[in-house]
Chain A
Amino acid sequence: MPAETRCESGIKEMVEGIVAETGSARSDLIPILLRISTECSYISEEAIRQLSSCLRLPESEIFAVATFYHMLLTQAHGRHIVQFCESAPCHVAGGREIFQALKDLLGLKPGETSQDDRWTLFTTSCLGVCGIGPVVMVDTDIYGHVLPEQLPAILENYR
């Protein structure tokens, strides 16, 4: 069963499954949330509710943790996430132009999702690949030495 339908139909089973594999101690909370976020693409309210009864933790407590970390997404987003590094090293290496080109090309501002649900644009802090900046990350693929004219070809790989 594809991940998304699995998430929709049986959130309860999925959360219980992940908790059984990862553990139910307080220190397992972040690993559990990371897995839910990857498998369902984001952590829904329903998932938090189920997790709350599994771990016997207040929903507010889980929500507080989930919203603290950048990699834990608590809102639905497009099929592909484009992340642009806005830290100083990429900025100096020509990041300004890339970011403008990226915003124009996608027609999005940071945090927005395109109407066809294909893209969500985020800015990110340093990804640690500054030696080949400016850097653009699409889903889990990192592209270095990016030039504005290369952006269309890069995005074309993601449908």
Chain B
Amino acid sequence: MSPTSESLEMLKHIRQQAQASSATNAPVENVEIVVGMGTVGIAAGARQTLHAILSYIEKNKLENICVRQTGNLGIDSFEPVVLVLVPHQERVTYVKVTPEIADLIMEKHVQHGEVVREYVNKE
């Protein structure tokens, strides 16, 4: 086994290929909705929340929205957690998001740009 400096070059190449297909690298115009889908999130109802978000998008035929999942964010008592990332704005963390609250967030924040203050995590 001999030390090599090729490895860094090779990783660079792999990474370039990966960038093309990565969701975090999606065009900046997209609104991103991220749902925390760890065991805790799922136990607290994150699947139903995700389902509500997806069916809202489908029902209202929204476009340029990227919905994706991530791990547990560490604030278990506030699960399910949903992050909304609108381009050029600060990310908003919503907590204890039930399907009903998800509908509200979709309508007010995602469609009309109005943050739903009462469900935002107060950090």
Contacts and interface: CB of A to CB of B under 8 A. Distances in A.
Interface residues of A, number: 10
A142 B77 contact: no
Interface stretch (B25-33, B39-47, B48-56, B99-107): B39-47
Interface stretch (A41-49, A109-117, A126-134): A126-134
Contacts of B39: 128-129, 142
Contacts, number: 26
Which of A130, A131, A135, A142 has the largest count of B CB atoms less than 10 A from its CB? A131
A35 to B, nearest CB: 22
Contacts of A130: 76
B9 to A, nearest CB: 38
A132 B77 contact: yes
20 contacts: A128-B39, A129-B39, A129-B40, A129-B43, A129-B76, A130-B76, A131-B77, A131-B79, A132-B40, A132-B43, A132-B44, A132-B76, A142-B39, A142-B43, A143-B43, A144-B40, A144-B43, A144-B44, A144-B79, A145-B44
Interface of B: 39-40, 42-44, 76-77, 79
Interface of A: 128-132, 135, 142-145
